[in-house]
Chain A
Amino acid sequence: MSERSRIGVVFDKARADGRALLVGCMPAGFPTVEGSIAAMKTMIAAGVDVIELEIPYSDPVMDGPVIQRASGIALAGGVRTRDALRIVEEVAATGAPVAAMTYWNPIEQYGVDAFARDLAAAGGTGMVTPDLIPDEADEWLAASDAYGLDRTFLVAPSSTDERLAMTVAHCRGFVYATALMGVTGARAQISQAAPVLVSRVRAVTDLPVGVGLGVGTGAQAAAVAGYADAVIVGSALIRCLLDAPDQESGLSALRAVSAELAEGVRNPTP
């Protein structure tokens, strides 16, 4: 397996362009399997650089009300893990990197090695694992090495220096810095803890750092782009579809918010 991850190349280019990447999160199968594919393609067309495809889970403890509702709708619609893999394949065909974001139990039930094999075959770049810490990740470490997938573990403002260094050492592709202590969801103000956390990560790695939790506007995206390599947005995008009366107006709102955020990451606030 090569040392340089596929997503690393995309980060390199953005860095050369003096901008951050925009990572957009969307649950697989929300509002339907086809609807989620359309949503992700819309996001990419409007300037989202990387898709973080969340595999819906019945008990998403890191997620706020918006993603909970969207995941619930996807599950009620009958979406399966294998559908998520098909969505990865369709969306990755656009050329944009697609990473899976998933709670651990669905992967454990699918089979860790089998999921890694199928995710790689579908063209996925790796996994973001909100409730899997490296301490419990032996199987995933082996499977991700075997299939050349990225591993994005989360770091938090509460992580000790020792844990932060250990966690980052197990990451490949990029590191996910949770900007605040709390669950996902757009907030009026971005946490002051985020820049501090990013600089702590930079002290121990050259890997790109993405910042998530709370970003919802172009101005916020520009501010985060001033110190991070990627701005990760979920709830603000998903809300476009939740709030819309029909698919067409939902995709239209999604296009507009994606474009605003994309403009933000291309014009970092110094």
Chain B
Amino acid sequence: MSADALAAPAAQFPDAAGHFGRFGGRFVPEALVAALDELGAAHRAAMADEQFRAEFDALLRDYAGTPSLLYEAHRFSARAGARVLLKREDLNHTGAHKVRNVLGQALLTRRMGKKRVIAETGAGQHGVATATAAALFDLDCVVYMGQVDTERQALNVARMRMLGATVVPVTNGSRTLKDAMNEAMRDWVANVDDTHYLIGTAAGPDPFPRLVRDFVRGIGDEARAQCLELTGALPDAITACVGGGSNALGIFHAFTDDPQVRLYGFEAGGEGVATGRHAASITGGSAGVLHGTRTYVLQDADGQTQESHSISAGLDYPGVGPEHAWLHDTGRASYRPVTDAEAMAAFELLCRTEGIIPAIESAHALAGTLAVAGELAAELGRQPTIVVNLSGRGDKDVHTAGEYFGILDKE
């Protein structure tokens, strides 16, 4: 990578063909290229269209409940040794940052004149969000979900069905998120004329990484203004969990041109990166091609995708959005693994100190915050201010967490 590329502001990326340095691009069947071109053009035109932006903003405000609060977590701060501000995306309609992405893409779907959306989902959060937007916009909706996940997330399957979506259990491969994504791609190749693939994270072929980023970047824009108002200064660090990475990109983006603001992405370390049972694509994987993009991938020496492992279904994916791969290579953001055990300890701490049950995904960001607070304090010589993206709420995780902590009553 040239020094110029490193110095260029992140907003100039990706390039016209969707590359973030050596990452990104399009590794797709030719049959999809026309649809990706159409989507890219629609996205560019929409972003330049004041009416579209106004409609998106109004939906986010009146329907999704944004801007989400920036809440100073005093008791958690005392334990962390940092001034911790929580970006409360868990309070959005449907319970996570994902509603921003699905509303943006649903508006684009309507703009392109398409009547049907398909989506992949792991834990079911993106599926529920997509089904929600489809109901609101009167779109047909099919959600692909690995059979393993439909069984462990039965409540979310019921939610999607209540909202009018068809849920298709995927029975091939490892029967989890990556296979649901394969199946959604196959559906899309066959039905691309009338169907939009409403992808759930800032991954996949261009233009998905950039358009998803644009729809979720309000998280960081809001947090930046809120932090300035609350503290009179920018934060010292931003922390977020990274699976595919949309919530992290959403909060990072407003700060990428502020070099004094450190950006931390926390990957799912599962049982520990050294054990091989993890979902840390950047810290434990290598560069490769998966699901239409070049990025960091968990793979064997022959390029076969390896299964990921995490207590958090939303982070349980063997790839990562290409912009994160690039932010890692340029050094602008730091990526570190957080184990299941560390995440669950932070989960419990937030419950007990703040009365907030976080998503287990977001608990990885909380655990990472606890880990870097001391380093930052030592480096700065004062108490650091850290904005944590609390990307989702933990209602969906009550069963998993209850089992983990052994607090469920026996039958």
Which A residues have a C-beta under 8 Å from some C-beta of B? 57-62, 64-65, 68-69, 72, 75, 80-81, 104-110, 130-133, 135-136, 153-160, 163, 167, 178, 181-183
In angstroms, how far is the closest chain B Cβ from the Cβ of A60?
Answer: 8
A133-B30 in contact (CB<8A): yes
Q: Which residues of A contact B29 (CB under 8 A)?
A: 61-62, 130-131, 154, 156, 178
Total inter-chain residue pairs, C-beta < 8 Å: 116
A163-B297 in contact (CB<8A): no
Contact with B303, one of A108, A132, A160, A178 (Cβ below 8 angstroms): A108
Closest A residue to B184 using CB positions: A61
| In the bound complex, CA of A61 to CA of B30 (Å) | 12
Per CB-CB distance, the 9 closest pairs between chain A and chain B, nearest first, are: A109-B303, A156-B31, A182-B190, A105-B303, A106-B303, A105-B289, A61-B185, A158-B34, A58-B304
Known: A72-B173, A105-B297. A159 touches B303 (CB 8 A): no
Please tell me if B35 contacts chain A, counting CB pairs below 8 Å: yes
27 contacts between A and B (CB under 8 A): A57-B304, A58-B305, A59-B179, A61-B29, A62-B29, A62-B189, A104-B27, A105-B289, A105-B299, A106-B302, A106-B304, A109-B299, A110-B302, A131-B28, A131-B289, A133-B26, A133-B28, A136-B26, A155-B30, A156-B33, A157-B31, A163-B30, A181-B192, A181-B193, A182-B186, A182-B190, A183-B186
In angstroms, how far is the closest chain A Cβ from the Cβ of B37?
Answer: 8
| In the bound complex, CA of A167 to CA of B31 (Å) | 12
| In the bound complex, CA of A167 to CA of B301 (Å) | 30
Additional A-B contact list (14), CB under 8 Å, known A133-B26, A156-B29, A178-B31:
A58-B305, A62-B29, A62-B186, A72-B173, A80-B302, A109-B302, A109-B303, A135-B25, A156-B30, A156-B31, A156-B33, A158-B34, A158-B35, A181-B31
| In the bound complex, CA of A178 to CA of B192 (Å) | 15
Q: Which residues of B contact A105 (CB under 8 A)?
A: 288-290, 297, 299, 303, 305
Contact with B27, one of A75, A132, A163, A182 (Cβ below 8 angstroms): A132
Q: Which residues of B contact A159 (CB under 8 A)?
A: 30-31, 33-34
**Chain B 1-45 residues near chain A, CB threshold 8 A:** 17, 25-35
| In the bound complex, CA of A107 to CA of B189 (Å) | 23
| In the bound complex, CA of A65 to CA of B189 (Å) | 15
B25-A136 in contact (CB<8A): yes
Please tell me if B182 contacts chain A, counting CB pairs below 8 Å: yes
A59-B30 in contact (CB<8A): no
Please tell me if B115 contacts chain A, counting CB pairs below 8 Å: no
Please tell me if B172 contacts chain A, counting CB pairs below 8 Å: yes
Q: Which residues of A contact B32 (CB under 8 A)?
A: 158
